[in-house]
Structure 1
Amino acid sequence: MPISRLPRNTPMPSPELLPMSSPPFKPVRTLAVTGGKGGVGKTNVSANLAVALSGMGQRTLLLDADLGLANVDVLLGLSPKHTLADLVAGRCELDEIILEGPNGVLVVPAASGRRHMAELRPAEHAGLVNVFNDLQRDLDLLVVDTAAGITDSVLTFCQAAQDALVVVCDEPASITDAYALIKVLARERGVDRVQVVANMVRSPQEGRNLHDKLSRVCERFIGDVSLNYLGAVPQCDWLRMAVQRQQAVVAAYPGSPSARALAEIAQRISRWQAPTAPRGHVEFFVERMLRQGAVA
């Protein structure tokens, strides 16, 4: 069946009305990785964090949510038989799309060059989020690689995740677009906490300065938004070589500067707690949270 066309304000069922025949999976931590503009290394960060987390024993699912220009499968050297386009068209179920990548990471690939996927309606984006309620897999973490910009898909996937991570580079366009995205997330979607990773930096201090610069602008013009600095990824020839070989740098060259930095960020993420209750809007794996609350 095609994904359900659910509006953003679809009321959540009460725990006692949820079907209890499926296994009582625990809640899943969710992280949406975004960047405001293209070219900041967002997909590299998403893929490598997911591979690193899976290598640490975290059962991790990586969702390629760049619906029109997907490339997670290319980056990791995977050859999908089905993609999210097939799911939307009703040709397969979500579980049939999932591939296994390096370190055992699970990957939900999207299609590249499918204009209709880039033009899905807001209710269809919500439907993609809600279809994860039917996934019968025991997971610890979902990493969502979003598209660039401030389109509805980006905003919905960031709002539906427990945390939004913004990748930013030390260039004016990246900082400006990251600020614009954070402002829209805060004012239109109520996102008041954002994680920040500085990418392609020349030194750790440059990464810290970049976060501080973005944080000052947000504090001055947005107000109630907390920016948490997760770390910085240095410019690294090993990362470029890994991309050319269609491999994750954390698996191909684990001793390289970029791989070590990404592994440190993944370690911090691995310590985050899973959500304990829904927040009242469209969220990934919301039924697992409701069941957990009913059991508790």
Structure 2
Amino acid sequence: MKEFLGSALGHEPRKAGSLLAIASGKGGVGKTVIASALASAFAARQERTLLVDGDLGMANIDVQLGLTPRGDLSRVMSGQIALAEAVTCVAGGADMTGGFDIIAGRSGSAALAGLESGAASRLAAAIAAASMTYDRTLIDLAAGADRATIRLATAADDVVLIMSDEPTSLTDAYAFVKLLRLRDEGAAPFVIINNAPDKAAAEMAYASFSRTCQSFLGFTPPLAGLIRRDTNVPKAIRAQKPLHMIAPGTPALQDIEAIAGLLAAGVQTTYA
């Protein structure tokens, strides 16, 4: 599947920044699974990695990974603990091979939903400060494009936008990009087509999204890659374990690991 990986035609290879926001226009496209698998993949590359659950309304990274965090963002924002005290190590390797740290949200709570602008800015600044002690930091944003989500996205060096080949996913992803570029006109999110049934469907989805962005926003988003449809992904979710622990070497994980490598080294122009 490496032939799927690469930026849009005509773009120079671009290395992703160390602070990445993982976004989606709508829920249900696999964003959180990809965020945790990317964090694991970066850690396996010997990058000290932090994954922050930035879904301020329905945080669930700790649930998906079967963790009991010692603190969460809700307690941080209420002043009960410092951000550093909310860090939980994900089991998998003291040498960071396959292991990484997370800062959880409050599972199933809407306590941070609708965060006002000043508070969102303070949270973005705190995450940026925490990221300075890591090689790679990922923020798993809420689905959609409310003001707090866009504020956290603009605090990142780059945004990685997850979508499927479904028309509603493409439409909502475009809405996210449009709002993001209203705040940061130079934003050019990397695109990942997830749960792709085949190469043709992935090509069609990316081409359609790319044409829309070029026609109405004046830029072509770089393609980071395709993740194949894989029955092991829902198995990992049900088991509440990282994908690499349930099915090492499974096709989706191979694609995610390849994407992590390309984001770290510079996305190459191989898509056609």
For the Cα contact (< 8 Å) 1:30–1:162, is it kept in 2? Answer: yes
Between the aligned partners of 1:30 and 1:134, the Cα distance in structure 2 is 11
For the Cα contact (< 8 Å) 1:242–1:248, is it kept in 2? Answer: yes
For the Cα contact (< 8 Å) 1:58–1:270, is it kept in 2? Answer: no
Q: Which amino acid aligns with 1:91?
A: Q
- CA deviation string 1:7-37 (max 9, x = no partner): xxxxxxxxxxxxxxxxxxxxx7111011111
- CA deviation string 1:162-187 (max 9, x = no partner): 11111111111101000111111112
The sequence identity of aligned pairs, in percent, is 30
Question: For structure 1, which runs of at least 5 residues remain unmatched after alignment?
Answer: 1-27, 274-296
2:76 aligned with 1:87: yes
TM-superposed deviation, 1:153:
1.6
Between the aligned partners of 1:166 and 1:121, the Cα distance in structure 2 is 24
Q: Which amino acid aligns with 2:113?
A: A
Q: TM-score, normalised by structure 1?
A: 0.79
Task: Give the equivalent residue in structure 2 for 1:63.
Answer: 52
For the Cα contact (< 8 Å) 1:250–1:260, is it kept in 2? Answer: no
Task: Give the equivalent residue in structure 1 for 2:89.
Answer: 100
Task: Give the equivalent residue in structure 2 for 1:256.
Answer: 250
2:202 aligned with 1:207: yes
- CA deviation string 1:114-165 (max 9, x = no partner): 3331021011111011123553963111111000111012111111111111
For the Cα contact (< 8 Å) 2:131–2:137, is it kept in 1? Answer: no
Between the aligned partners of 1:161 and 1:269, the Cα distance in structure 2 is 14
Residues 208 and 108 (structure 1), Cα distance of their counterparts in 2 relative to 1, 3 Å cut: same
Q: Which amino acid aligns with 1:111?
A: R
Task: Give the equivalent residue in structure 2 for 1:147.
Answer: 142
Question: For structure 2, which runs of at least 5 residues remain unmatched after alignment?
Answer: 1-16, 93-97, 268-272
Map 1:40-59 → 2, pairs under 5 A? 40-59=29-48
Between the aligned partners of 1:148 and 1:212, the Cα distance in structure 2 is 22
Task: Give the equivalent residue in structure 1 for 2:114.
Answer: 119
Larger RCO: 1 or 2 (CA < 8 Å, sep 6+): 2
Between the aligned partners of 1:128 and 1:201, the Cα distance in structure 2 is 34
Residues 230 and 110 (structure 1), Cα distance of their counterparts in 2 relative to 1, 3 Å cut: same
Q: Which amino acid aligns with 1:31?
A: L
Count residues with an aligned counterpart: 245
- CA deviation string 1:31-63 (max 9, x = no partner): 101111111111111111011111111111001
2:195 aligned with 1:239: no
2:159 aligned with 1:164: yes
For the Cα contact (< 8 Å) 1:32–1:165, is it kept in 2? Answer: yes
Task: Give the equivalent residue in structure 2 for 1:4.
Answer: none
Which of residues 200, 214, 220 in structure 1 aligns to 2:215?
220
Q: Which amino acid aligns with 2:199?
A: P
- CA deviation string 1:207-229 (max 9, x = no partner): 23211110001111111x33010
Task: Give the equivalent residue in structure 2 for 1:135.
Answer: 130
Map 1:170-181 → 2, pairs under 5 A? 170-181=165-176
Q: Which has the larger radius of gyration?
A: 1
TM-superposed deviation, 1:83:
0.5
Q: Which amino acid aligns with 1:232?
A: L
Q: Which amino acid aligns with 1:129?
A: A
Q: Which amino acid aligns with 2:222?
A: N
Between the aligned partners of 1:229 and 1:171, the Cα distance in structure 2 is 17
